């Protein structure tokens, strides 16, 4: 808080004056006063008691008197135990509102000259997006907005995993059962169309594995069943065929590549549609089929520098045991690359494309170890960008039954969930009947806005690091601490501002200075409005959109109370009426900005 910063030197001066003591600024802690106590800002006096032989009350009182006499902004104070509660003058609060109203880009910091890349989404192209992707995508997209507001130049990238055995599984099932059908002939969205074949593969593979297992049990009756089950899984004809297809792909077999291109293009059409519905977009998309070979040069470099070593079979490793980690494989004996090989190469490529100070990977916490190793290797290789790598490790979205598993069909599909939310928004809005004069397109746009607002807020309000629970039995709320509540608050303010403009109400900010008394509800609102830029900064430092989400909720809640308990247009005092309109306008502005950081749209009516 800026007032706190003004007061710190005075506190230092107090101890110098009264006790000839030099106190360092770090020992002085201010915090906002808790709601249940009178005051705005609290100085904690406990830390000084060791140096000064006083009771907490007496020392608090002495500091309070000193601050009061030196700063006109402090109207009064009280001391409870070791807490010195300071109350600001109403004049100061009024001035605070006027000043923030005058700022063009309130809560947007000027450019800091730094570049940051945010990688998120990163889907596989063998199945449609699900709820886990949604958390990832909304986090990444919101974080990009937050970083922009903090003055960074941001590049949003998507790294699509478009190659590998999982893709071949879909391709193989399609070859066998597809009968030349396409998304267009069947009317199925492309990503779902391909995903269906992936499921089909898994089913067939499971059957074939079970049959093989039975055969092996007859052939090797003495063998441990577990060993036989493993053997059957490895030797299933379906899996062998998929592996064969992957080899053909890597050899560049034209018909395999043709099928691969066709099926991926269907998936991309589907993904694009979903991204569009979500309201997210990327500045650049990387494809692993184009990057997976890049890491080999890095492996050569590491070998030459003696950071990596080669085993007898020709495979390449790095020994991280001195860092408390393990030995890690970097290149297979046959010279083909593994996951981390590609990531090493891709990291270089990213930096060449966009020389950034920070590179953020939005990836689930199941990959913590991988990113620890990746960063460490890049540091050992002396990459200038390595220290700027940050793995935004978010927790999984779990169902009451546990983790979502696409193979077992226990995933919450993104398209389905969005559609379901739109349906609820439609139904609920119609019941309320507040927008009966909207035409169809306007109404549908609103349903989309509400559905996505509810979803995004639901997924972003939780600390990203923590796992979260989604219960498909209970639909996402439209009441209470929800996205819809924030949107509703905005719409209510918008109605106020429409009316003010309709009535031709106008005033200049300067005239508001003449006001002398404020209500508690107004002070609380101004206090929150004043915090906004700090919360924007904090959200970036913590890589946590949840900071913005809870701020937006606090703000909406404070406004709702203000709205319910104080009247605007029935307020007899003209000046006060103007002040409340201005306060409403500023609340709407900040609320809209906060929602924007979360990727949520703010409706004018609902």
For RNA, the binding residues in 85-144 under the rule CB under 7 A are: 85, 124
Does the footprint of RNA cover residue 550 (CB under 7 A)?
Answer: yes
Q: Which of 492, 537, 589, 596 binds RNA (CB under 7 A)?
A: 492
Q: How far is it, in rounded angstroms, from Cα 249 to Cα 527? A: 61
- Name residues contacting RNA, limited to 448-487 (CB under 7 A): 450, 461-463, 465-469, 471, 477-482, 484-485
Does the footprint of RNA cover residue 383 (CB under 7 A)?
Answer: no
Q: Which is nearer to RNA, 33 or 196 (CB)?
A: 33
Report yes or no: 143 and 392 within 8 Å, Cβ to Cβ: yes
Q: How far is it, in rounded angstroms, from Cα 296 to Cα 602? A: 48
Q: Which is nearer to RNA, 102 or 479 (CB)?
A: 479
Q: Which of 153, 315, 357, 519 binds RNA (CB under 7 A)?
A: 315
| Segment lying near RNA (by CB under 7 A), choices 62-70, 262-270, 377-385, 552-560 | 552-560
| Segment lying near RNA (by CB under 7 A), choices 146-154, 212-220, 275-283, 362-370 | 362-370
Q: Taking the complex as a whole, how short is the minimal distance between the CB of residue 193 and RNA, in angstroms?
A: 21
Supply the Cα-derived Rg of the chain in whole angstroms: 30
Count interface residues toward RNA (CB under 7 A): 95
| Segment lying near RNA (by CB under 7 A), choices 99-107, 126-134, 410-418, 555-563 | 555-563
Does the footprint of RNA cover residue 329 (CB under 7 A)?
Answer: yes
Q: Taking the complex as a whole, how short is the minimal distance between the CB of residue 231 and RNA, in angstroms?
A: 15
Q: How far is it, in rounded angstroms, from Cα 421 to Cα 448? A: 8
Phi-psi domain of 180 (left: phi exceeds 0; alpha: psi -120 through 50; beta: other): left
Q: How far is it, in rounded angstroms, from Cα 547 to Cα 532? A: 10
Does the footprint of RNA cover residue 319 (CB under 7 A)?
Answer: no
Does the footprint of RNA cover residue 258 (CB under 7 A)?
Answer: no
Concatenate the DSSP letters of all residues of 550-600 into one string: HHHHHHHHHHHHHHHHS-STT-S-HHHHHHHHHHHHHHHHHHHHHHHHTT-
Q: How far is it, in rounded angstroms, from Cα 180 to Cα 184? A: 11
Concatenate the DSSP letters of all residues of 229-281 into one string: HHHHHHH-HHHHHHHHHHHHHHHT-HHHHHHHHHHHHHHHHHHHHHHHHHT--
- Start-to-end Cα distance in the chain: 35
Take residue 425 and report the two structure tokens written for it.
């928004």
Name the 3-class secondary structure at 205.
helix
Q: Which of 495, 505, 575, 585 binds RNA (CB under 7 A)?
A: 495
Take residue 237 and report the two structure tokens written for it.
């004809």
Does the footprint of RNA cover residue 80 (CB under 7 A)?
Answer: yes
- How far is the CA of 509 from the CAs of 343, 524, 580, in angstroms? 55, 20, 12
Q: H or E stretch including 300? A: helix 295-304
| Segment lying near RNA (by CB under 7 A), choices 79-87, 102-110, 207-215, 300-308 | 79-87
Does the footprint of RNA cover residue 528 (CB under 7 A)?
Answer: no
Q: Taking the complex as a whole, how short is the minimal distance between the CB of residue 363 and RNA, in angstroms?
A: 9
Q: Taking the complex as a whole, how short is the minimal distance between the CB of residue 480 and RNA, in angstroms?
A: 2
Does the footprint of RNA cover residue 406 (CB under 7 A)?
Answer: no
- Name residues contacting RNA, limited to 170-209 (CB under 7 A): none
Q: Which of 494, 518, 523, 591 binds RNA (CB under 7 A)?
A: 494
Does the footprint of RNA cover residue 267 (CB under 7 A)?
Answer: no
Does the footprint of RNA cover residue 374 (CB under 7 A)?
Answer: no
Q: Taking the complex as a whole, how short is the minimal distance between the CB of residue 249 and RNA, in angstroms?
A: 12
Q: Taking the complex as a whole, how short is the minimal distance between the CB of residue 159 and RNA, in angstroms?
A: 9
Q: How far is it, in rounded angstroms, from Cα 391 to Cα 143? A: 13
Q: Taking the complex as a whole, how short is the minimal distance between the CB of residue 185 and RNA, in angstroms?
A: 30
Q: How far is it, in rounded angstroms, from Cα 585 to Cα 591? A: 10
For residue 54, give the DSSP letter: S
Does the footprint of RNA cover residue 519 (CB under 7 A)?
Answer: no
Q: Which is nearer to RNA, 126 or 183 (CB)?
A: 126
Q: How far is it, in rounded angstroms, from Cα 221 to Cα 98? A: 85
Does the footprint of RNA cover residue 240 (CB under 7 A)?
Answer: no
- Name residues contacting RNA, limited to 27-46 (CB under 7 A): 29, 31-34, 36-37, 39, 42, 44, 46
Q: Which is nearer to RNA, 145 or 161 (CB)?
A: 161
Q: Which of 176, 206, 403, 589 binds RNA (CB under 7 A)?
A: 403
């Amino acid at each position: 808080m800026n007032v706190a910063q003004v007061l710190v030197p005075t506190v230092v001066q107090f101890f110098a004056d009264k006790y000839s003591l030099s106190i360092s600024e770090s020992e002085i802690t201010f915090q906002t006063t808790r709601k249940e106590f009178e005051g705005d800002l609290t100085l904690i006096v406990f830390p000084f008691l060791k140096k000064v032989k006083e009771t907490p009350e007496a020392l608090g009182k002495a500091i309070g008197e000193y601050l009061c006499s030196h700063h006109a902004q402090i109207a009064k104070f009280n001391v409870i135990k070791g807490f010195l509660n300071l109350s600001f003058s109403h004049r100061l609060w009024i001035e605070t509102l006027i000043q923030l109203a005058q700022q063009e880009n309130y809560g947007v910091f000027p450019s800091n000259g730094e570049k940051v890349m945010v990688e998120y989404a990163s889907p596989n192209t063998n199945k449609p997006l699900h709820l886990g992707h949604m958390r990832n995508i909304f986090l990444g997209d919101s974080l990009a907005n937050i970083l922009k507001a903090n003055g960074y130049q941001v590049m949003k990238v998507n790294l699509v995993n478009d190659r590998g055995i999982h893709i071949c599984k879909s391709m193989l099932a399609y070859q066998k059962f597809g009968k030349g059908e396409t998304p267009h002939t069947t009317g199925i969205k492309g990503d779902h169309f391909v995903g269906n074949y992936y499921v089909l593969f898994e089913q067939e593979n499971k059957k074939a594995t079970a049959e093989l297992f039975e055969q092996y049990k007859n052939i090797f009756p003495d063998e441990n069943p577990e060993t036989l089950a493993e053997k059957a899984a490895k030797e299933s004809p379906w899996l062998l065929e998929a592996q064969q297809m992957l080899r053909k792909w890597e050899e560049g077999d034209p018909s395999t590549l043709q099928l691969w291109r066709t099926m991926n293009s269907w998936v991309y059409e589907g993904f694009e549609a979903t991204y569009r519905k979500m309201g997210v977009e990327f500045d650049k998309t990387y494809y692993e089929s184009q990057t997976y070979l890049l890491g080999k040069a890095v492996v050569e470099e590491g070998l030459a520098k003696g950071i990596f070593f080669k085993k007898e079979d020709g495979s390449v490793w790095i020994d991280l045991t001195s860092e408390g980690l393990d030995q890690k494989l970097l290149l297979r004996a046959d010279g083909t690359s593994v996951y981390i090989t590609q990531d090493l190469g891709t990291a270089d490529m990213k930096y060449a494309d966009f020389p950034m100070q920070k590179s953020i990977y939005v990836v689930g916490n199941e990959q913590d170890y991988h990113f620890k190793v990746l960063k460490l290797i890049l540091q050992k290789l002396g990459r200038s960008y390595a220290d700027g790598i940050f793995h935004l490790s978010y927790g999984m979205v779990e169902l009451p039954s546990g983790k979502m598993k696409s193979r077992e069909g226990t995933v919450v599909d993104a398209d389905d969930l969005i559609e379901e939310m739109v349906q609820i928004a439609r139904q609920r809005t119609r019941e309320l009947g507040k927008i009966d004069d909207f035409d169809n397109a306007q109404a549908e746009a609103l349903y989309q806005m509400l559905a996505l607002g509810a979803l995004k807020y639901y997924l972003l309000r939780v600390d990203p690091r923590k796992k979260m629970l989604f219960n498909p039995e209970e639909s996402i709320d439209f009441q209470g601490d929800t996205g819809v509540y924030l949107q509703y608050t905005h719409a209510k303010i918008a109605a106020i501002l429409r009316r003010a403009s309709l009535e031709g109400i106008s005033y200049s900010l300067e005239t508001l200075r003449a006001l002398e008394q404020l209500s508690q509800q107004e002070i609380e609102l101004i206090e929150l409005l004043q915090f906004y830029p700090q919360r924007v900064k904090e959200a970036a430092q913590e890589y946590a959109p949840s900071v913005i989400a809870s701020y937006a909720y606090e703000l909406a809640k404070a406004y709702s109370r203000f709205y319910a308990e104080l009247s605007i247009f029935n307020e007899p005092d003209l000046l006060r009426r103007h002040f409340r309109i201005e306060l409403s306008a500023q609340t709407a502005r900040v609320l809209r900005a906060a929602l924007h950081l979360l990727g949520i749209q703010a409706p004018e009516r609902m």
